[in-house]
Amino acid sequence: MPDKNLQANTHRPAPRASTRPRSRIVSALDDALRPHEPVSRQTYLSGVILSTAVIAFVWIVLSYGGIVPPLFLPSPSDVVRAAVALFREGSLLIHARASLSVIVTGWALAVVAAVPLGILMGTLKFVEALVEPVVDFVRYLPVSAMIPLLILYIGIGTAEKVAVIFIGTFFQLVLLVADVSANVSKDLLDSAYTLGAKRGTVFSRVLVPATLPGVMDNLRITMGWAWTYLIVAELVASDRGLGYLILDSMRGLYTDRIFVGLFVIGLLGLGFDIIFKRLHRILLPWSPKI
Amino acid sequence: MTAVAAKLTIKDVTVTFQRRRGGSVVAVDSLDLMVRDKEFVCIVGPSGCGKSTLLRIIAGLTRPTTGEVVLDGIQVSGPGADRGMVFQSYTLFPWLTVEGNVEFGPRLSGQPPELCTRIAKRYIDLVGLSGFEHSYPKELSGGMMQRAAIARALANDPEILLMDEPFGALDAQTRTLMQELLLSVWEQTHKTVLFVTHDIEEAVLLADRVYVMTARPGRIKREIKVSLPRPRTVGVLDSEEFLRFRREVQQSIREESLKVLSAKEEGG
């Protein structure tokens, strides 16, 4: 050690990196961890694979290694077997379809109502005054706290679950869209006026298209939240759906089936996310966000 | 003033903004100015002197507290296609291509689509953007976006073109190129232009006449006729005459700044 120090001192004080070549992993990590810098596709993919592999590895060790009993953590093969069985029975499709139809209906109704209202609210101060107090109040009420009321009013059928999704997404989406439309540059509107546009035209041909990328983003985000509310809705007074599947499996201690339910929800969510990103790219090729 | 009738007249315009906590600020104070037909007029002044406010009033985007704006004998009461405007910020519609942006005005006025496309093409060529008709704004540089914005304003064939520091956000090299481009566009179209800037050199290079504004509250301090020969190029920047005009404008603004400064010292 002293020798090495001596050598370093007598030579010109070059930075360490040039005297000793850094290992490839260190330099790759160094490249990968610079804030806000893009990384190569290869580095990105290796990150994706790494996290997935670690989770899979831990799962495999814990389950096959017998560290955690199958009652708490079924092995991957147990889960696959349970998935195949549920699929063969036909119940997996029934549950998935039930959940999908509830979620898509509730979310779409919320979108149809919330997007125009949000755009108006972000644009017209008077509409903001009308809407904001109510929305801000309801927004803080947990949707699950309203389920008893909803059951009382609408019963325990599909309509009640659709209502849960609607309430859960509508109030959030109104505020998100209002924020998007409030942030549309005023100069953009003024340019349209100086080009001869009247108020109505400015709304339809400038304000609405200008909000589309932001609205699209928020549709994706609220769809994610809708899944959360769906499970809440299906855990209470329900006879089908992925949430019901999970709850029902718990009663029989079919942990493997619970895992199947979770996986299906995760995969469907991932699927929706990919669809939304694709749609954004196809429908709004001009968007600065892509 | 002269035999040529005024195209645009601003009579005794005052703008007062109400402060939130009460009280008010006079942004523009009983200001008069006029622009003749086919004239290129620049307004220079220190930042915050209300020159952008003045332009917005002429565009009809802001209402004056008192006074009136008259274009071609008709009093301005709101925004309209007869007064085109180019802003300092990038205001192309991002969802439209360059062509779609330039066509925006003609389409609003209900002209047939083929004609709109022809008009758009003409002005896209004029600002040197041919080949980029189908590009979206996000694919353009700042200078290209401002060129497209100029084409968009011109495609409407306005009576007067209002320009609010349109090159203010561009780097120095691009700005010089844009000034040259604007000079050549003006030679070809002879639009009446009212151009606001804080760049003295830019004002002298472009204008037939320069109005110097005072610091807030904005008034017209001086009017300087720039009798440099046309057509002009950036070559004129080195001429003795140019420097003389520039010095004159500079002197005028400097006096103003000094006055503001000493007033502050006395008051403070």
A9 pLDDT higher than 80? no
Q: How far is B92 from chain A (nearest CA, A)?
A: 7
The pLDDT assigned to A21 comes to 62
Q: How far is A187 from chain B (nearest CA, A)?
A: 6
Q: How far is B126 from chain A (nearest CA, A)?
A: 19
Q: How far is A286 from chain B (nearest CA, A)?
A: 5
Which residues on neighbouring strands pair with residue B209, listed in sequence order?
A: B41, B225
A65 pLDDT higher than 70? yes
Give residue-wise pLDDT tens across range A218-263.
999 999 999 989 888 888 878 899 999 999 999 999 999 999 999 9
Measured distance CA(A252)–CA(A261) in Å, rounded: 14
Question: What's the rounded mean pLDDT across residues A90-94?
Answer: 94
Best to test chain B binding among A180, A187, A195, A201 (most B CBs inside 10 Å): A195
Measured distance CA(A49)–CA(B108) in Å, rounded: 53
Nearest alpha-carbon partner for B71 in B147, B5, B163 = B5
Q: How far is B56 from chain A (nearest CA, A)?
A: 9
**B85 vs A190: CB contact, 8 Å cut-off?**
yes
**Which of A87-101, A132-146, B32-46, B69-83 shows the lowest per-residue confidence on average (mean pLDDT)?**
A132-146
What backbone torsions phi and psi does residue A157 show, to the nearest 5 degrees? -85, -160
- Among the partner-chain residues A201, A212, A287, the one whose CB lies closest to the CB of B108 is A201
B35: left (phi over 0), alpha (psi -120 to 50) or beta: beta
Give residue-wise pLDDT tens across range A277-287.
999 999 999 99
Tell me how far the alpha carbon of residue A286 is from its chain's centroid.
Answer: 23
The pLDDT assigned to A128 comes to 95
Q: Give the domain ranges of chain A.
A: 17-64, 76-283
Residue holding tokens 């300087």? B224
Nearest chain B residue to A200 by CA distance is B108
All residues of chain A having their beta carbon less than 8 Å from the beta carbon of residue B80 are: 194, 196
Question: What's the rounded mean pLDDT across residues A4-19?
Answer: 47
pTM of the predicted model as reported, rounded to 2 decimal places:
0.85
Q: Give the domain ranges of chain B.
A: 1-82+192-268
Chain A CB within 8 Å of residue B61 CB: yes
Give CATH for domain B1-82+192-268. 3.40.50.300
Q: Which tokens go with B261?
A: 């400064």
**A286 vs B138: CB contact, 8 Å cut-off?**
yes
The pLDDT assigned to B151 comes to 97
Contacts of residue A126, Cβ cutoff 8 Å, sequence gap at least 6: none
Measured distance CA(A125)–CA(A106) in Å, rounded: 28
A6 pLDDT higher than 50? no
Nearest chain A residue to B134 by CA distance is A286
Q: What is the 3-state secondary structure (H, E, C) of chain B?
A: CCCCCEEEEEEEEEEEEECCCCCEEEEEEEEEEEEECCCEEEEECCCCCCHHHHHHHHHCCCCCCEEEEEECCEECCCCCCCEEEECCCCCCCCCCCHHHHHHHHHHHCCCCHHHHHHHHHHHHHHCCCCCCCCCCHHHCCHHHHHHHHHHHHHHCCCCEEEEECCCCCCCHHHHHHHHHHHHHHHHHHCCEEEEEECCHHHHHHHCCEEEEECCCCECEEEEEECCCCCCCCHHHHHCHHHHHHHHHHHHHHHHHHHHHHHHHHHHC
A76-283, which class in CATH?
A: mainly alpha
Measured distance CA(A98)–CA(A231) in Å, rounded: 12
**A190 vs B91: CB contact, 8 Å cut-off?**
yes
Nearest alpha-carbon partner for B159 in B185, B187, B182, B191 = B191
All residues of chain B having their beta carbon less than 8 Å from the beta carbon of residue A210 are: 93-95
Instruction: Report the run of H or E that residue A248 belongs to, with start and end.
Output: helix A242-251
Percentage of chain A beyond pLDDT 90 is 74
**Pairing, β B83-86 against β B160-164:** parallel
What's the residue count for chain A?
290
Nearest chain A residue to B155 by CA distance is A195
* Residue numbers in chain B where pLDDT is lower than 70: 1-4, 260, 263-268
**Pairing, β B40-44 against β B209-213:** parallel
Chain A CB within 8 Å of residue B87 CB: yes
A14 pLDDT higher than 70? no
Residue holding tokens 């991002």? B94
The pLDDT assigned to A32 comes to 81
The pLDDT assigned to B93 comes to 97
Best to test chain B binding among A191, A198, A290 (most B CBs inside 10 Å): A191
Question: What's the rounded mean pLDDT across residues A24-32?
Answer: 80
Nearest chain A residue to B96 by CA distance is A286
DSSP E strands: which ranges in chain A? none
The pLDDT assigned to A30 comes to 83
Measured distance CA(A39)–CA(A45) in Å, rounded: 10
Question: What's the rounded mean pLDDT across residues A179-193?
Answer: 96
All residues of chain B having their beta carbon less than 8 Å from the beta carbon of residue A193 are: 59-61, 79
